[in-house]
Amino acid sequence: MAIQTEKVLTHNLAIGMYVSALDRPWLETDYILEGFYIETIKDIEKLEHLCQFVSIDVELTKQKINYKSQTEPSLFSKIKTIANTDIKDLTFSRKSKRQNIRREDNQYKKTTSFAKEFRTANQLYKDITITANNLFTNAHAGTNIDILTVKRTATAVVDSVVRNPDAFLWLTRLHEKDTHSHNRSLRTSIWAIAFARYLGLEKEKMNNLSVALLLCNIGKANLSRELLENEDMLEGEELQEYQKHVDLTLDALKIMGRTPQAIITIIRAHCERFDGTGYPMGLMENEIPFLAQVAGLVTYYEEITNRRVLENSLDPTRAVEHLYKLRDKKFMAELVEEFICSIGIYPVGSIVELNSKEIAIIVEQHSKNQLLPQVLILRDINRQPVTLYKVLDLYDINKTAEKVRPKIINTYSLGAFGINVDEITQGLKRAVTGDSTINDKAWDIKTLLKKVVS
């Protein structure tokens, strides 16, 4: 008797189904057995990352469930829906007495091309890195901090992110391997500006967020190296000692006496959590100022994607799934959902695999569909470095193509396939033009390099 199988889209899978075949060779996965029962939601989420559909053994599945029955979409499928929905169409029905997110009237549009802003942002990133380094050097030495310089640098970064956020987010992702506290503050500051831009917050609030997050970790300069190097694993008295960094920061700023109260408020409450499990005051829900909630969310996102022990870090897509589970626990549900919408399920700088088996990095989000961004191809179908760099606009290709429809099927951490920062930066310089439009042509490197570098 022939084995009866049915093809099932991965977002329709259910616990109890027996997977007999994938839409790719088993050898390309880490599955040991060629065939298995789905036992947990995590099994479904893993299959959604790997495949678009799988084959289900009907008879083996019937022993546990009715494979024809409708199933609840998995968590990853729900997040895809949120990320691909226009924010105006999202409705929330929270009944608890707390703040609701009210998007402000500012509607920021991209006013420069990615290529042009990349050149500006690259220099600004160097400037703000120097500023962040100086902050920690001065804090450690107990000397005064130049708040005016911090504000000027933060304002320049805000202006760049308002013009085109993708350039700075790109640079932030490329430099995420550096886990020192000052560079973590720098990256978190940029995430906060980009999120605030998405929410339409006025520039003054963006500036306050940026400065607050640049300053918020200077108290760590007075903690022991041992505490800092083990911050992800601390418990008991060591954890309590580590959590003093907020008060140490506030003490340092109080001595200077020139920090605006709005910035102090953000710093004081950015480690508080929605369910009251944060510190130092144990605030919860609407007791936490809104900008401090924004700061807390982006700080947490930076931490889980950039652990000191890099093997424990989550890649951007898994981090989004993790955040989604923390709605109305660690963070306000609406804020989490808005953040997912702002960065997309595949954030700028993510290493991804296409269904063509090529490996690419996300260059720029598409406003109409965040699941189909612009990507820079870095590895060919044999996982070998490309000789000609090209940027594909997945949205435009899928909109016009009749047969071949490239899509993202998996994500990886920075460093996978031997991909490093220098290769990505040079690839980008060689692939993008100074024009406002990036298309899917394989460009001549020498010609484009002149346009980008000039």
Query: For 233-245, what is each residue's pLDDT tens digit?
Result: 888 999 999 999 9
CA distance 72 to 439: 38
Distance of CA 209 to the CA centre of its chain: 18
Q: Tell me whether residue 408 is in a domain.
A: yes
**C-alpha neighbours within 13 Å on the C-beta side of residue 97:** 1
If we measure between CA atoms, which residue out of 27, 8, 32 comes closest to residue 18? 8
pLDDT at 295 over 90: yes
Are residues 378 and 254 part of one domain? no
Q: What is the pLDDT of residue 144?
A: 72
Are residues 367 and 313 part of one domain? no
Taking residues 288-302, what's their average pLDDT? 95
Q: Is pLDDT larger for residue 435 or for residue 48? A: 48
Q: What is the pLDDT of residue 451?
A: 37
In 222-343, which ranges are E strands?
none
Q: Which of 17, 47, 73 corresponds to the end of one domain?
A: 73
Average pLDDT of the residues of the chain: 78
For the domain that residue 194 is a member of, what is the CATH number?
A: 1.10.3210.10
pLDDT at 316 over 50: yes
Are residues 251 and 337 part of one domain? yes
Range from 10-19, 69-78, 136-145, 332-341 that averages highest in pLDDT: 332-341
Its domain, for residue 150, covers: 114-343
Inter-axis angle of helices 165-174 and 147-163, to 10 degrees?
120
pLDDT at 178 over 70: no
Q: What is the pLDDT of residue 297?
A: 97
Query: Measured between alpha carbons, how far is residue 175 from residues 54, 188, 311 in Å?
Result: 37, 12, 16
Are residues 227 and 179 part of one domain? yes
Q: What is the pLDDT of residue 193?
A: 93
Are residues 359 and 213 part of one domain? no
If we measure between CA atoms, which residue out of 221, 277, 214, 276 comes closest to residue 244? 221
CA distance 208 to 183: 18
Taking residues 382-389, what's their average pLDDT? 87
Q: Tell me whether residue 259 is in a domain.
A: yes
Are residues 364 and 332 part of one domain? no
Are residues 38 and 166 part of one domain? no
Are residues 259 and 141 part of one domain? yes
- 290 pLDDT band, cuts 50/70/90, is very high
Taking residues 428-443, what's their average pLDDT? 46
Are residues 177 and 36 part of one domain? no
pLDDT at 453 over 60: no
Q: Which of 281, 314, 343 corresponds to the end of one domain?
A: 343
- 50 pLDDT band, cuts 50/70/90, is confident
The domain total for the chain is: 3
Q: Is pLDDT larger for residue 379 or for residue 411? A: 379
DSSP alpha helix (H) spans, 216-244: 225-229, 236-242
What would the pLDDT profile of 64-114 be if each residue is shown by its tens digit? Answer: 776 555 444 555 555 555 555 443 333 333 333 344 565 555 678 888 877
CA distance 179 to 146: 24
Q: Tell me whether residue 204 is in a domain.
A: yes
CA distance 33 to 270: 46
Q: What is the pLDDT of residue 84?
A: 53
Are residues 369 and 258 part of one domain? no
What would the pLDDT profile of 138-164 be if each residue is shown by its tens digit? Answer: 777 777 777 788 888 888 889 988 998
Q: Which of 325, 343, 361 corresponds to the end of one domain?
A: 343
Helix (H) or strand (E) holding 389: none
Are residues 267 and 148 part of one domain? yes
Are residues 251 and 118 part of one domain? yes
pLDDT at 445 over 80: no
Taking residues 34-43, what's their average pLDDT? 84
pTM of the model: 0.69
pLDDT at 206 over 90: yes
Beta-strand pair 351-354/408-412: antiparallel
pLDDT at 442 over 50: no
